[in-house]
Amino acid sequence: MPDGIVFIDNEFVSPEHAKMSIFDVGFVWGDTAYDVTSTWKNWFFMLEEHLDRFQRSCDRFQLKSPYSRDEIRQICAECVQRSGFDDSYVKLQMSRGVMSSRTVDPRLSDSAFVAYAIPYVWIWGEEKCRNGANLYLSSFERVSSRAVDQRIKNYNRADLVQARFQALDEGCDDSILCGPDGYLTEGSGYNLLVVKNGRVASPDYNVLEGVTRGALSELCKLENIPFELRKIHPDELAEADEVFASTTAGGVMPVTRISNQPVANGEPGPVTRRLQASYWGKREQGWRGTRVDEILATPMQSTGTH
């Protein structure tokens, strides 16, 4: 259990007191949308993009928020402030809630909103996120967007968990999954990017539209590095000059081995390093940032609906 502050049932509590009903169908039916943003040196990064995506995820799952967007922004900021962490991992979560025992109609449920701030998370530990991980090309298929739209950030992640088990059993750090069409999708919480001849490419379908990946497309533009979303066959990994991953929980992360084989010379490549330095440098300067204290000082624009 991490340190931090959780907003749940309209109050701020410590993580050990953050409990939900076992009857919340957000759990029982996997009927929960979420998002993760972060602060670095007290700057939220691309907060509005995260709030936009969270709203889209909720809309696609037909989850109605009991809080307005302004209220959610304030709750996130207050979680960070109360936690005392300058560098934090901030989750927003909307579950379907506890339903009446007399119906299975999800339209009749009141959604439950939870947010929390905990210390910044490095998905594979800071060292591997900064200097290179070994990802296993999984035999588990990523759930198809025809079944669950993977643009919706959601808790139906059993494919990712099983792929992670497999990766760890094979001596790797985590996994990469292909979709039902046999093309690369993503990993257990991160987008995948491939560099060949100075061009950056990332899978265009059946993946989360990563906010960090979106930031990278902007950084590529600033640095005059060609960036494209397209189908990527797993065979391209063996011929890639560089491979890296992107996520809120680690930023720009070199992938130096795939299924225990080195990518190129097995070291983080120059494009990855350039984008990584640019990403962290700009974050520290507040690029695309919103200060926690500024949010808290801003009067709310709307009164919300709860």
Provide the binding-site residues for a second copy, judged by CB under 8 A: 1-3, 6, 8, 15-16, 18-23, 25-32, 61-62, 93, 96, 98, 100-101, 104-107, 114, 116, 118-119, 121, 123-124, 140-144, 146-148, 152, 154-162, 164-165, 168, 174, 180, 188
Which residue matches tokens 């992938």?
Answer: 255
The secondary structure of 153-217, three-state, reads: CECCCHHHHHHHHHHHHCCCCEEEEECCCCCEEEECCCEEEEEECCEEEECCCCCCCCHHHHHHH
Least Å distance between CB 57 and a second copy? 11
Least Å distance between CB 175 and a second copy? 11
For the chain, the C-alpha Rg in angstroms (whole number) is: 19
Give 82 or 196: the residue with its C-beta nearer to a second copy.
Answer: 82
Give 124 or 279: the residue with its C-beta nearer to a second copy.
Answer: 124
Give 79 or 195: the residue with its C-beta nearer to a second copy.
Answer: 79
Packing angle of the helix pair 69-83, 47-60 (nearest 10 deg) = 120
Give 6 or 184: the residue with its C-beta nearer to a second copy.
Answer: 6
Least Å distance between CB 146 and a second copy? 4
Least Å distance between CB 154 and a second copy? 6
Give 91 or 213: the residue with its C-beta nearer to a second copy.
Answer: 91
Name the residue among 40, 37, 42 with its Cα closest to residue 73: 37
Least Å distance between CB 120 and a second copy? 11
What is the distance between the alpha carbons of residues 21 and 54, in angstroms, rounded to a whole number? 22
Name the residue among 248, 246, 235 with its Cα closest to residue 272: 246
- H or E segment and range at residue 252: strand 251-258
